[in-house]
Amino acid sequence: MRPNRHTQALINFKTKLFDRIEARDSSLAQQARELKLDWYRITNKADPDTGEEIAEVFIYDEIGGSFGVSADAFAQELSAITAPKISVRINSPGGSLFDSIAIHNAIVHKREEADITTYVDSLAASGASIIAMAGEEVVMLPGSQLMIHDALGHEVGNARDFRIMADFLDQQSGGIADMYAAKAGGSRDEWRERMQAETWMFAEEAIKIGLADRQFIPPAEDEEEELSAEPIINGTELDLSMLMTRKHELANRGFKYPGREKAPSPLPTDAHVTALANAFKPLLSRKVR
């Protein structure tokens, strides 16, 4: 949940660039400082069955942006939505922890006014998994992945500074674990164990562990689609479709694994452990001759 090396390089480049522009033209520098790189988009469409307005929120890049688009802007746009139904579609490697928590809370608050479903189109890793938990229903698309891990952070200083940072990260991770527990049940310690292990899940695994409710199954060709694969919005359907299915570069993000294929299976829940124990009781109770 920290900037990756590529993002940090962009931030450093931006700072140097703005300093150079400032030395030549202060008004131009101000315009440059207001430059934003959007990592989300909010659009509207009509329900094909009822004609009812549906808002679609697409989160398709590193949360927080490299050039200053924060959760504040997202929350303002979200609060302005008047549609009674909102689909939040996610394909993101994560990003700013605080922005992710703020967006999660903004979505939960918006649920007082609208029915909100979160869809993991391809990837909801790190902070993006926190946002996914905000939906009344969490839906995984075929082949999609969810990833949870402990909070990450940078620190420069002495041993005392690092101890303070470690305590801070533990506090933040505990709060995140509570969010997962609120969705799936279980204890904070149980979820911290999974977070510390860096748990990657395919759709079926996320459903089994309780972080997702169901997998989206594309309907037959002659049926209306429940979720548009290529939303037609002002001629940008191809652009959004590509953004929501593209693969993200996961190297150099501080992750232990580059995806579910290389990661171990998720730790089972207490319920699954109990079920397995009960299944083996008859065998364990047999006398050995």
Q: Which two tokens stand for residue 38?
A: 């959007």
> Which entry of 92, 96, 126, 173 is annotated as an active-site residue?
126
Q: Is 154 a catalytic residue?
A: no
Taking each helix axis as running N to C, give the angle between helix 188-197 and helix 159-184, from 0 to 180 degrees, rounded to the nearest 10.
Answer: 120
Task: Say how many CA atoms lie within 13 Å of 244 toward its Cβ.
Answer: 26
Catalytic residue among 66, 149, 173, 248: 149
Give the burial string for 120-158 (b: 16+ CB within 10 Å, else e): bbbbbbbbbbbbbbbbeebbbbeebbbbbbbbbeeeeee
Name every residue whose Cβ is closer than 8 Å to that of residue 155 and which is 6 or more positions away in sequence: 161, 162, 165
Tell me if 251 sits within 8 A of 258, measured CB to CB.
yes
126 is catalytic: yes
Which sequence positions are flagged as catalytic? 126, 149
